[in-house]
Amino acid sequence: MSVFLDYDRASLDAQYFVRGHVLDWDERIDEFARLSAARHAEAPSQLNIPYGDKPRQQLDVMSPSENAENAPVLVFLHGGYWRMMDKSQFGYVARTSDAAGALCVVPNYRLLPQVGLEDIVVDACNAIRWVLGPIAEYGGDPGRIVLCGHSAGAQLAAQVSARVGRQFVGLMGISGVYDLRPIQQCFLNDIEFLDDATERRFNSAEAVSVLPCPADFAYGEQEPDEFSRQSSEQAMFWNRPGSPSNLICLPKLNHATIVAQLNDPDSEIAGIARSYLTN
């Protein structure tokens, strides 16, 4: 497997240019938004709940039924390279939690370049701290939280696990971008949000749960090699006593279709989530 140091700038740019590998990316995101709006309308959903005083410091809570009580909680952090996307596009993830009798929480967070990466990580941590408190008022059990994230959202989930200081049932990283060194050297850093100090502060080797927590790191067979490396290395960093990790390559899936599996409770990705939520 190549490592990012083997790539020149153009090759590294190509590795992380998702639209170059998923030609129908925009259509997929539009579909995600439609699926999410349908889920919001069909089952209990409390939208735009503030966890801070900034406009994007809000989250959505979706319940499997009106009378949910002491239910496990799936928290999903969306991707978008820390600079795009919205929780309204990922409400469909609740299809997976609904099937497990669990709540689903999808937070927003502030975005680049209006704020820095440090602020975004703070937002993600504060959203989870909210879940550890008021979620009980919505029928959730703050002692049974599963962290899940896609792409940059997986990086945020890993950072949360290392910083919040609470034990989680499990973590699911889907096509995660944990190692920031190649991000610092490719087109994504043209806005100069990553310097050496920021990369060191949020380095992937230390983005592991401070308490025992099993984890699954999944990526699609049709994703660029860097996404395979990112998941493989994070699984290696994570694996230690009390915190086993699994590395999963899903055939025929790309950066969009792998997260789309959370709309199908019978899919492999959804099955991993259910195993944590029903444990």
According to the model, what pLDDT value does residue 210 have? 87
Domain extent for 89: 4-277
CATH number of the domain that 19 lies in? 3.40.50.1820
pTM of the model: 0.97
According to the model, what pLDDT value does residue 66 have? 82
Identify the segments of the chain with pLDDT beneath 50: 1
Segment (H or E) for 34 = helix 25-42
Axis crossing angle, helix 9-16 with helix 225-238, rounded to the nearest 10: 80
Instruction: Work out whether strand 245-250 and strand 103-107 pair parallel, antiparallel, or are unpaired.
Output: unpaired
According to the model, what pLDDT value does residue 4 have? 79
- The owner of tokens 């060191």 is 200
According to the model, what pLDDT value does residue 279 have? 82
According to the model, what pLDDT value does residue 235 have? 98
Burial (Cβ within 10 Å: 0-12, 13-18, ≥19) of residue 165? exposed
Contact 127, 51 (CB under 8 A): yes
Long-range pairs for 7-16: beta carbons < 8 A, 24 or more residues apart: 7/182, 9/185, 9/186, 12/182, 12/185, 12/186, 12/226, 13/186, 13/187, 14/224, 15/182, 15/186, 15/224, 15/225, 15/226, 16/177, 16/182, 16/183, 16/186, 16/187, 16/188, 16/224, 16/226
According to the model, what pLDDT value does residue 123 have? 98
Domain tally for the chain? 1
According to the model, what pLDDT value does residue 5 have? 76
Q: What is the rounded CA–CA span in Å between residue 75 and residue 109? A: 13
